[in-house]
Structure 1
Amino acid sequence: MKAFQVNAPHDFAVVEAELPSVGSGEVRVRVAFAGICGSDMHIIHGDNAFVRYPRITGHEFAGVIDAVGEGVTEVGVGARVCIDPVISCGECYPCRISRPNVCRSLEVIGVHRHGGFEECVVVPAANVHVLPDHIGLDAAALVEPYTIAANVLDRMQPHPGDALLILGAGVIGLTILQMARAIGLGEIIVTDIIDERLALARELGATHTLNSREVDVEAEIMALTDGEGIPLIADAACVPALLAQMLRVASPAGRIGLLGFSATPSELVQLEVIKKELTLVGSRLNNRKFPEVLSLMTEGKLDPLALVSHRLPLSEMPDAIDMLEHHPEKARKVLVRIEA
């Protein structure tokens, strides 16, 4: 079977791989679609500290179960599913307090073990979610990015009608925007440096968009909020240098959700944090958010296919990587059709 494999940083190709066997408690999924994520690019660049090479990447995917292992009774062959990539031990402190997404022994499908950029992949049966009939496999492959959005918003504990600032209008920023609309937040300000992304943000319901290369973002936000600052800030740009600005534009009692994995230090002015009693929270992966996202998709409150700019077969995966690398303004979510 065919698979996209990263052998080492900057060394990747579509290769022949063996059909995986199914163990106890596992299912084998014939993958239909998989999405390329920024974290896949980090693996290609060698910037992911958790990956071990060679690795078949891909943690955003959906398909049809074609084999089940011993003891699996909750799903069967032929079920249409999407897959939660978070695998936890169930015993450590985070797991005991219902935070399995930061399990001490955390494994992520597509990072610690082979993922969805292959024709068939074996995953724990506990990690599959059966799809409602009207959700297509292409849309289902994008459930996972929305769980990232759901998780960071949950970590920030929003109140109904809270205003939100989203830094970055890439795919994660746009999923946060759609999730914020779906759960009833108020005004939503989105910043980016690419006008095409900001245009889509407006189409998806952003109240205000700001090109941070062209305007003074801090002054604009304070003007839009009558000098109060903004209660919720989601950092989907993941640029460490922006933290100091986030602290300044946050309102008193504001909450800031951080998503980046950069090891570069950020400037943190303690005075800003203490005088406003700000809350800074990290958000990693998702904490059992698949049912919530599937429910919102079923209700028509999320539009995952609006994020898709390209659909390509697995054989063209290297070309997709090149486009994302050198022409990011042309691409949003690239959806890969896995060829059987």
Structure 2
Amino acid sequence: MSGLLALLDDVASIAKVAAASVDDVIGQAAKAGSKAAGAVIDDAAVSPKYVAGFSADRELPIIWRITKGSLKNKLLFLLPAGLVLANFAPWSIAPLLMVGGCYLCFEGAEKVAHALGVGGHGHEDFPKKEEVVEDPAHLEEEKAKGAIKTDFILSAEIMTIALSAIPESNIWMEAATLAAVAIMITVAVYGSVALIVKADDVGLYMSEKGRLGLTRALGRGIVKAMPGFMKALTVIGTAAMLWVGGSIVIHGMEELGFGTLGHWIHDIAVAVGHSLPESYVGAAEWIVKAALDGVFGLLLGLVLIPIGEKIITPAWRAVFVR
């Protein structure tokens, strides 16, 4: 009996360690995932366009297909690559992050330039884009493939940011944390996309079939609010991209020994924060730093637009757009 009790005690101890490890993984994944806010918001803002023009009954299947492709991108390709880099070439993480940060700045600046009508048309119409596809199934196939390719770029940025935010540990803990980040972010992004895409249908159903006047009014309100909500989401996503992209590049410059700009932004944020009542210091410093990081991201992105549109984007389409 004493042996059985000892065995049960050992099992309980192992279970506690396992539970603590799970808590650690989830906690680290949540913190690491939050660092990738800009790319995540942009992913959620961009993805609904891939189901535009399809019948309502095909929207969720398309989103599910893209979701599976996104998980495949993250778990089968990016996670192993990230672990190899982290354990055998850790020096490469900062430069890769900076490349990803430049991409976010380019994307954000391009959207700003396009909105202002002064350029930024790299993602607009191009030869082959408007070819008429008679077969809806083929069109759906092409849309899903395009979405999964775009997701790969954003997922690479998300996973690299998450990897850089994970505390040093053994490879299994890093793998579990990255896997948790991949699953949590994918579910959050494409679950949100599904809700956004179907919100119009839900609102329309409520407005037409609702038994109560309040229900019908709420449905009409949802339908009317969705266009404005989508615009707001696009603006928030663009701002987040510029802020996160700019901060990543600035932090990378500091790691490479070019910390002047980062220190200057920090000093300005501290000066502004301490000019206000004590209860506002922390918030003011964060807002000023985020704003200056975003301004830097916008300026960097504007510089990168000609390079992206004239060199990188045509090369990408030549290879991947058939």
- Quickly name the TM-score band, shorter chain normalised: under 0.3
Structure with a larger share of its residues in helix: 2
Structure with a larger share of its residues in strand: 1
Larger radius of gyration: 2
TM-score normalised according to structure 2 size: 0.23
Indicate the structure whose relative CO is greater, using CA pairs within 8 Å and at least 6 residues apart. Answer: 2
TM-score normalised according to structure 1 size: 0.22
